[in-house]
Amino acid sequence: MSGQQTPGPRILVTGGNSGIGRALCRQLAVEDGCHVLLGSRDAARGRAAVESIRRELGANRPGSVELVVVDVAREDSVVSAVKAVGSPVYALVNNAGTGLAHGASPEQVIDTNLYGVRRMVEAFTGQGLVSSRIVNVGSGSGPGYVSRCPLPLQATLSKTPADWQAIEELLAPAADGRSGFGSAADHNGGYGISKALLSLYTLLIARDHPRLMVSCCSPGWIRTDIVGHHGPSKGPEEGTPAIKHCLFGELEGSGWYYGSDALRSPYHFMRNPGEPEWDGVVDGVVGIP
Ligand SMILES: NC(=O)c1ccc[n+]([C@@H]2O[C@H](COP(=O)([O-])OP(=O)(O)OC[C@H]3O[C@@H](n4cnc5c(N)ncnc54)[C@H](OP(=O)(O)O)[C@@H]3O)[C@@H](O)[C@H]2O)c1
C-alpha cells in the first residue's frame, strides 16, 4: 500500500501510552489504517508510545498516530485536549483507568474510572466532537460487584438511571461504608463500584445521545500494570477484541455491556467467555435498558 493513502477514521484513545490502550492504538494505526489520537497524561510516556507505533508504521502503511496529552482526572487537561483535537473524531475510547496494583486511593479510582469518563464525554460531546461511537472500557469487576449487592439494588444497577445525580446517589452509601449497598463495597478499593457505575453511565450516555452508538466492554483478564503483571496469561494485544467490536461491529443496541468475547453480557453477574450471550432480562422481569 502507498503512504499517500488517506488514513481511516480518527479515533481518540485515553490511556494510550500503556497496556491495553497502547496495544489498541498500535492495532488501530498499523493493522486498521486509522488516524489514532493517542491520549496520555504524561507527555514523555505518550511520545515514547507514539514513536514506537510510528516506527512500525514506517512509510508504507496508511495509518497514522499523534499524541494528545490528557489527564482525565483534571478538568483543565480535558479542556486542553478538546482544543487539541479540534474537529470531530469517529470514536472516543475511554480506556484510561486506575486501581488494583496501581495503589490508587478509592477516591482516585472513582475519580478516574467514573468521573474521568464523564469529564471526557461531557467535554467532547458538548463541543460536537464525537461523530459516531463511544466505547467505555469497563471490567468484569463491575458485574462482580453488583452480584454481591442486595437483590433490589441489583435491578437498580442493571437499568438506565434517571440522570447523573441518580448515579452519584448510588455512590454515596458505598463511599461512607454504610450497610446495604455499602456492605458490598469493594474489597478492591473502589474499583468494582467504579466499573459497575461506568456501565450504568454508559446506559445514560446512550439515552441522552441517541445519534451515537455507545458501549461498555470488558477487555478480559490481561497482563498489564494495573494487575501488577501477575496472574493473567494473556498479553495486552489480546485485550482488544471487545473494544474493536464496539468500535466497528454491527451493534444491535446502544448502551450495552459486552464481555471480553464481544458478546452482550449482564450487569448483575459475571458472564464468562463460552457462556451463553445475555438476553437483557433480569430475574425474568426487568428488560434492559
Ligand atoms: N488488565 C486487565 O486485566 C483489565 C481487566 C479489566 C479492565 N481493565 C481496564 O482496562 C483499562 C486499561 O488498563 P490496562 O490493563 O491497560 O492497565 P495499564 O497498563 O495500567 O493502563 C492504564 C492506563 O490508564 C492511564 N491512566 C490512569 N489514570 C489516568 C488519568 N487520570 N488520566 C489519563 N490516563 C490515566 C495510565 O497512564 P499512566 O501510564 O500515566 O499511569 C495508563 O495509560 C483500564 O480502564 C482498566 O480498568 C483492565
**Mutation test of ligand 1: which of 193, 199, 224, 270 has the most ligand atoms closer than 8 Å to its C-beta?**
224
Q: Which amino acid is at 248?
A: F
Q: How confident is the model at residue 189 (pLDDT cuts 50, 70, 90)?
A: confident
pLDDT per residue as tens digits for the range 34-52: 999 999 999 999 999 999 9
Q: Which amino acid is at 116?
A: G
Which pLDDT does position 230 carry in this prediction?
A: 78
Collect all residues with Cβ–Cβ distance below 8 Å to 5 and sequence separation of at least 6: 33, 62
DSSP classification of residue 110:
H
pLDDT per residue as tens digits for the range 142-158: 999 999 888 888 889 99
Share of the chain above pLDDT 70, in %: 90
Tally of CA atoms within 13 A in the half-sphere of 14 that contains its CB: 29
Q: Which amino acid is at 187?
A: H
pLDDT per residue as tens digits for the range 8-29: 999 999 999 999 999 999 999 9
* Ligand 1 center–CA 225 separation, angstroms: 8
As a whole number of angstroms, the distance between CA 52 and CA 55 comes to 5
**Mutation test of ligand 1: which of 115, 226, 230, 233 has the most ligand atoms closer than 8 Å to its C-beta?**
226
C-alpha torsion sign, points 126, 130, 131, 133? negative
Q: What is the pTM of this model?
A: 0.95
Judged against a pLDDT cut of 50, whether residue 96 lies above it is answered with: yes
For 10-287, the fitting CATH number among 3.40.50.720, 3.20.20.60, 3.40.50.300, 3.40.470.10 is 3.40.50.720
In DSSP terms, which residues pair with 213 in a beta bridge? 133
C-alpha cell at 236: 495486552
C-alpha cell at 44: 514523555
Which pLDDT does position 220 carry in this prediction?
A: 96
Please state the separation of Cα 116 from the chain's center in Å. 10
DSSP classification of residue 31:
I
